[in-house]
Amino acid sequence: MRLKKLTALVGVIITGSILAATANLENTTLAQDSDTKTANNCISRKDVMDAQETWAKAIVAIGKAYKNGGNYKALAANTVDNLYGYDEGTVLFKPTKAAQRQFRLTEAQAVSYFVKGIVPEDQGFALQPWSKVRFENAGISLGCNDAVTMGNYYFTDANTGKETKVEYTFGYRRNKDGKLMIDLHHSSLPFNPAQ
């Protein structure tokens, strides 16, 4: 009788262990599926590089519109509105050629930097014009809803073909529609010890 009870108890324990292991395996699989879905919605290197390419093309397009007598101011306003997250919250923007008013914390100030406007020192950075902008990322830090990248970008003068190297840090955040928006843009010329 004792042996029967012991055998029944061992059977229950083994069955319980098997059921627990199966349930644990199913939960792990569900968690992995959930992680995969979450990971797939996170910002990728490609997302960042696509955003950089879009920004570069926009800067070139503003200069072309200016050179060809197009509505470059409207294009610049549209570019800032569509690429920078001023509508979603704080944007930290320190342009390359800004000395007296170094930081552009409003959308109007950002547009002014690119095409002249409300900030007296602005000469219209995008009005150079540039024929090409290329990014060389030193590194990209990725999160699910935000990303930061740092490196050098090179601006090719449309008139001379000369390339200017500029250092940058860009931060991106997804808006409610899932689109990457710039929320940090710091840009400066490299240190020159001769100056």
Asked if 124 and 97 sit in the same domain, the reply is yes
pLDDT at 29 > cutoff 90: no
Mean per-residue pLDDT for 73-94? 97
The 8-class DSSP code of residue 70 comes to: -
Predicted TM-score (pTM) of the model is: 0.78
Question: Under 8 Å CB-to-CB from 101, ≥6 apart: which residues?
Answer: 109, 119, 121
User: In this structure, what CATH number is given to the domain that contains residue 151?
Assistant: 3.10.450.50
Kindly indicate the confidence band of residue 120, based on its pLDDT and cuts at 50, 70 and 90.
very high
Asked if 98 and 20 sit in the same domain, the reply is no
Asked if 176 and 82 sit in the same domain, the reply is yes
Q: Does some domain include residue 195?
A: no
**Range(s) of the domain holding residue 6:** 1-41
Mean per-residue pLDDT for 179-193? 95
Asked if 91 and 175 sit in the same domain, the reply is yes
Tally the domains of the chain. Answer: 2
Cα–Cα distance, 176 to 158 (Å, whole number): 37
Q: What is the pLDDT of residue 92?
A: 98
Asked if 146 and 94 sit in the same domain, the reply is yes
Mean per-residue pLDDT for 41-49? 95
pLDDT at 1 > cutoff 90: no
Q: What is the pLDDT of residue 194?
A: 82
Instruction: For residue 90, give both structure tokens.
Output: 């704080």
